[in-house]
């Protein structure tokens, strides 16, 4: 029996170390697959026998690769992680400060009475480079030569060898100082991303009789009654049992509006109760709540790497050995081939080459950039399941939109009932409500709402053996006779006598093989749909098509109100799937937006599947690549804006890092750049790249089409 287990690797900041740890964990006999998300420091592994997993064994393995990394159970993060980070930062400050004191002593009058000034340089060097020296020699013992620690040791030891003691110490000191600020910036960006969703609700006021007991959310079982005070953040998915009021749903939907709730309504963890005392009954555990699921999705999204991330990982494996080889040739060939060339001078240039060679700026900042984009999207009520989908949004050129619930509100109103076969309106409505009683489709909800309005305290005589005919209708037994409700063509195929031709907005009903009436429903165009379609066209989407199972009459009427490039009607789910496959065969990059329940195969087939209004809908979250948590099509445009912003920042980091490194490498080869420039080309550029990533999260105008 296999299972997924997750750990937090506190203190992990070296991307190369992460790659090595991932590789070594994957070699463990009880591990089927292991992946490390650098942005969240999460190690996710699938174990053949979860009970055989040993955190201590993992800790020993990690210690053999890199010191200062703590393996913790993911749920234990919090305060322990912050304490460990604080301790690590304080130790780093102490080492840097001590090294600086020893270095300054050499340049004071005390140097004249010191018998061996080199000892002070050595002490300063050891203090400044303790972590680098420890990691570098340990990696050497494991046969790993091409990591930044060992390269720094070679470069600074070489400076010592040619008598440049102050520079050797200064380079190690400034390298550690730069790494310190880089780690701080990375940690800040991680915390900023985690905080985008707001504070995690964790306290629950459990009701035991008339007593109120504050309990941790993790300890509350489904079915437990609890109290929600005004101002409280809802900690668990629940159903209201007493009270009515308003809920701020912005943490989940990204929209600053309040939702009215009353007895019988479902509320989700992450909502904020604004104005009334409410009693509720929990529906799920804290681990399975909507809020926890969303945060978990955002964090796990880093496991799905974008093409840019995959490229940089492959690039780094080739880039560093090539640079090391070039540095070796730079040290050896000129003194042999150029008359008058001094080995000491060319050796120094080669050392500069080594220092600047590490691709950390790319390997750290690019995954962090995509993760920041995913975090930013989550704050806007948009769940993106991976950097690959965020990247794919930029390539989409064909958009296919479902009609009901996507372009329209999906809230039908029953406006007319026509009868036949001796039935009256009440009988038609009762039979329809009985057939639709087990469905959550918008049409079913509208019919049931109409029945409830007429019979507030009753319910229709129950139908049995209810079965769904996908894209066509529902068949059931009612009063021991077959009952059908759905499209006219389907009723005719089922042999129903007297069924009229399909009319826009009509649902036909037959009982005992005879047509008994039609229910005419109307659905309103979603506000802003036309503007969103126009905006998408301006952004370069070449083709926008509506796909619907509705009749040609209903589809044509709606299409006239929208700037679409076309529409297809009377479609079954397999028809929609075929249309997307045809578009893919033409070389188009497709996006499909639908409700995520009936259109799951189409969502899965599209290059980017977008589920509309996935608030609490498990099927939507499972089926789609991107989930818009509110019923607002404009969120699709916001998602593309965030995707463009993320792409621009990632490209900027790639160009900046490679450009600066190329310039410093060229200057070093010509003898115009020293160790100080080399350190800037390594940790300085990495720090700039991480700070650039923070722009994604700090941008306060996601809806703006202008991206710089």
pLDDT confidence band for 1 (50 / 70 / 90) = very low
Determine the length of the chain. Answer: 708
Task: Please tell me the predicted confidence (pLDDT) of residue 190.
Answer: 59
Band of pLDDT at residue 705, cut at 50, 70 and 90? very low
Dump pLDDT digits (tens) for 75-114.
Answer: 555 555 556 566 666 777 777 788 777 777 766 666 555 5
Q: Average pLDDT, stretch 201-219? A: 85
pLDDT in tens, 599-630: 778 888 899 999 887 665 566 667 788 888 88
Give the number of other Cβ atoms within 10 Å of residue 131's Cβ.
Answer: 18
Whether 708 has a pLDDT exceeding 70, the answer reads: no
- Please state the separation of Cα 628 from the chain's center in Å: 13
Using alpha carbons only, how large is the chain's radius of gyration in Å?
A: 32
Range ranked top by mean pLDDT from 292-296, 300-304, 691-695 = 691-695
116 to 119, 240, 339, 426, 619: CA distances (angstroms): 6, 79, 37, 105, 73
- Contact at 8 Å (CB) between 381 and 629? yes
Place of tokens 């038609």: 428
Average pLDDT over residues 663-674: 85
pLDDT tens digits for range 456-475: 777 788 888 888 887 788 99
609's enclosing H/E stretch is: strand 608-612
pLDDT given at position 361: 67
- The predicted model gives 361-388 an average pLDDT of 81
Distance from the Cα of residue 27 to its chain's centroid: 28
Q: What is the pLDDT of residue 148?
A: 67
Residue 257 CB neighbour total at 10 angstroms: 11
pLDDT band at 511 (very low <50, low <70, confident <90, very high): very high
Residue 498 has pLDDT above 50, yes or no: yes
Place of tokens 């490209």: 651
Type and span of the H or E element at 492: helix 488-493
For the ranges 292-296, 675-679, 696-700, the maximum mean pLDDT occurs at 675-679
pLDDT, mean of residues 532-552: 90
Q: What span, in angstroms and rounded, lies between the C-alpha atoms of 665 and 678?
A: 8
pLDDT at 640 over 90: yes
For the stretch 558-597, pLDDT in tens is 888 899 999 998 887 788 989 999 999 999 999 999 876 6
pLDDT reported for residue 566: 93
Contact 436, 533 (CB under 8 A): no
**Cα(439)–Cα(412) distance, integer angstroms:** 14
The confidence band for 637, taking pLDDT boundaries of 50, 70 and 90, is: very high
Query: Which residues have C-beta within 8 Å of that of residue 171, sequence separation ≥ 6?
Result: 152, 155, 156, 159, 355, 675, 676, 678, 679
Mean pLDDT across the chain: 80
Nearest to 125 by CA among 164, 78, 178: 164
How far apart CA 705 and CA 688 sit, in angstroms, is: 25
> Does residue 402 have an active-site annotation?
yes
Q: What is the pLDDT of residue 34?
A: 83
Angle between helices 15-26 and 307-337 (to 10 degrees): 110
Active-site residue, from 147, 164, 237, 402: 402
Q: Determine how many CB atoms are found less than 10 A away from the CB of residue 247.
A: 24
Q: How far apart are CA 633 and CA 530, in angstroms?
A: 10
Look at phi and psi of residue 270 and say left if phi exceeds 0, alpha if psi is from -120 to 50, else beta: left
Q: Which comes out higher in pLDDT, residue 231 or 683? A: 231
* Res. 162: pLDDT tops 80: no
pLDDT exceeds 60 at position 192: no
């Amino acid at each position: 029996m296999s299972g997924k287990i997750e750990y937090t690797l506190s203190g992990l900041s070296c991307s190369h170390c992460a790659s090595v740890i991932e590789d070594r964990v994957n070699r463990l006999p009880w591990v089927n697959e292991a992946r490390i998300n650098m942005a969240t420091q999460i190690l996710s592994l699938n174990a053949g026998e979860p009970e055989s997993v040993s955190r201590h064994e993992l800790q020993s393995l990690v210690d053999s690769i890199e010191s200062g990394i703590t393996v913790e159970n993911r749920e234990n993060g919090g305060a322990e992680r912050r304490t460990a980070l604080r301790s690590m930062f304080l130790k780093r400050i102490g080492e840097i400060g001590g090294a600086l004191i020893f270095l300054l002593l050499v340049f004071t009058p005390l140097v004249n009475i010191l018998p061996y000034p080199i000892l002070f340089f050595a002490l300063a060097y050891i203090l400044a480079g303790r972590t680098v020296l420890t990691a570098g020699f340990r990696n050497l013992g494991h046969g790993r030569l091409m990591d930044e620690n060992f390269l720094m040791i070679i470069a600074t030891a070489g400076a010592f060898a040619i008598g440049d003691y102050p520079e050797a110490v200064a380079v190690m000191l400034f390298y550690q100082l730069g790494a310190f600020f880089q780690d701080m910036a990375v940690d800040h960006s991680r915390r900023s991303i985690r905080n985008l969703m707001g504070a995690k609700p964790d306290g629950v006021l459990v009701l035991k009789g008339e007593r109120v007991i504050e309990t941790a959310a993790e300890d509350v079982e489904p079915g437990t009654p609890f109290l929600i005070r005004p101002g409280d953040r809802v900690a668990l998915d629940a159903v209201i049992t007493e009270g009515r009021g308003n809920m701020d749903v912005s943490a989940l939907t990204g929209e600053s509006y309040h939702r009215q709730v009353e007895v019988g309504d479902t509320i989700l963890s992450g909502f904020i109760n604004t104005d009334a005392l409410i009693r509720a009954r929990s529906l799920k555990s804290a681990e399975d709540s909507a809020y926890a699921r969303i945060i978990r999705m955002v964090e796990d999204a880093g496991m799905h790497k974008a093409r840019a991330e995959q490229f940089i990982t492959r690039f780094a494996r080739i880039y560093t050995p090539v640079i090391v080889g070039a540095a070796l040739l730079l040290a050896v060939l000129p003194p042999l081939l150029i008359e008058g060339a001094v080995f000491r001078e060319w050796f120094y240039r080669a050392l500069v080459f080594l220092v600047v060679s590490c691709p950390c700026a790319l390997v750290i900042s690019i995954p962090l950039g995509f993760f920041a984009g995913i975090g930013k999207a989550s704050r806007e009520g948009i769940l993106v399941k991976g950097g690959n989908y965020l990247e794919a949004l930029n390539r989409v050129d064909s958009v296919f939109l479902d009609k009901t619930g996507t372009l329209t509100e999906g809230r039908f109103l029953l406006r007319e009932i026509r009868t036949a076969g001796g039935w009256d309106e009440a009988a038609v409505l009762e039979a329809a409500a009985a057939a639709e009683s087990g469905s959550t489709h918008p049409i079913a909800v509208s019919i049931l709402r109409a029945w409830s309005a007429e019979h507030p305290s009753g319910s229709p005589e129950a139908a049995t053996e209810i079965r769904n005919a996908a894209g066509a209708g529902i068949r059931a037994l009612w009063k021991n006779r077959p009952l059908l409700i759905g499209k006219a063509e389907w009723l005719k195929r089922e042999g129903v006598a007297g069924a009229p031709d399909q009319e826009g907005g009509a649902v036909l009903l037959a009982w005992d093989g005879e047509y008994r009436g039609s229910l005419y429903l109307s659905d309103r165009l979603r506000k802003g749909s036309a503007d969103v379609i126009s905006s998408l066209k301006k952004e370069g989407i070449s083709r926008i098509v509506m796909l619907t199972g509705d009749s040609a009459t209903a589809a044509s009427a709606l299409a006239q109100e929208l700037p679409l490039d076309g529409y297809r009607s009377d479609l079954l789910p397999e028809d929609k799937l075929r249309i997307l496959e045809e578009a893919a065969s033409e070389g188009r990059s497709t996006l499909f937006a639908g409700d995520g329940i009936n259109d799951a195969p189409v969502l899965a087939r599209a290059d980017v599947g977008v589920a509309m209004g996935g608030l609490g809908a498990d099927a939507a979250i499972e089926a789609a690549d991107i989930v818009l948590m509110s019923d607002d099509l404009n969120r699709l445009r916001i998602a593309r804006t965030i995707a463009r912003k993320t792409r621009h920042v990632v490209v900027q980091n790639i160009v900046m890092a490679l450009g600066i490194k190329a310039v410093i490498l060229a200057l070093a080869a010509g003898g115009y750049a020293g160790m100080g420039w080399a350190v800037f080309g390594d940790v300085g550029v990495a720090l700039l790249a991480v700070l650039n990533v923070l722009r994604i999260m700090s941008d306060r105008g996601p809806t703006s089409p202008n991206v710089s």
